[in-house]
Structure 1
């Protein structure tokens, strides 16, 4: 199934997914809040199924996350949009599976600290949702 994905496609999907974790963990920095969000998101990522789950189960290559949240978002948000398009092209329904998985990862991180997203986390959730929705019919 995954052989239909090029190494570049697989890398883009990894960047998108791990980027969601990085963005959500960075939305509310702190000695405890950021790690909790990252752990919650990583646990959610481990439940991914289908082709999305297969790609996310691989050890990620060195990911290009450096700098501010804004700089990370410049890489991750377009990668989310492109990943949905790639997965839609490769397998029917897989783009929607990826969207649901990314939403679950982001929401898990957003709820990790207080049970509800902070305003900063809620705004990042909105930006992630916008990037995922861009390709929706």
Structure 2
């Protein structure tokens, strides 16, 4: 099933997906390498397939991801995740599932430490991102 996304819809999807990586990067900066976190997450998003993959591959600037705190970033990203899931579910539930799994794989790749377990801070941020995805 083909879906029709406006430029605003595409911006919401990119804000949600890349914002999730920005959010875990900001949350994990104190416990890991922000560069490694962001790189691993972004590489995972770059491997997305389906219509979600095409939208995430578009080279456009994403606004409002430069908050001064994790809370400011979360205020933008968590609602965008819920909105993105809602608009995809309305048009194509399979593509909504693709988006959800793409974001969660990217977040898991980002928070995976070189050794040991992810920090409690990172685990909690993954929980909040998952809850936002599932709220739609």
Q: Unaligned 5+ residue runs, structure 1?
A: none
Q: Distance in 2 between matches of 1:73 and 1:89?
A: 24
Distance 1:81 1:133 in 2: 7
Unaligned runs of 5+ in 2: none
Deviation at 1:116? 2.9
Alignment partners' CA distance in 1, 2:62 and 2:133: 23
Look up the match of 2:130: 129
Equivalent in the alignment of 2:106? 105
Provide the alpha-carbon RMSD of the alignment. 1.7
Find the aligned partners of 1:28 and 1:127 in 2 and give their Cα distance: 14
Query: Relative to structure 1, is the Cα distance of residues 17 and 100 closer, same or farther in structure 2, using a 3 angstrom cutoff?
Result: same
| 1:31–1:127 CA distance, 2 compared to 1 (3 A) | closer
Cα shift readout 1:34-86 (whole Å, capped 9, x = no counterpart): 11000000110011111111100001323211221101001100100110111
Q: TM-score, length-normalised on structure 1?
A: 0.90
SS where residue 61 of structure 1 aligns?
coil
Structure 2 residue aligned with 1:74: 75
Structure 2 length as normaliser, TM-score?
Answer: 0.91
**Contact persistence 2:14–2:62 (CA under 8 A):** no
User: Which range moved further: 13-22 or 29-38?
Assistant: 29-38
Contact 1:87 1:95 in 2 (8 A): yes
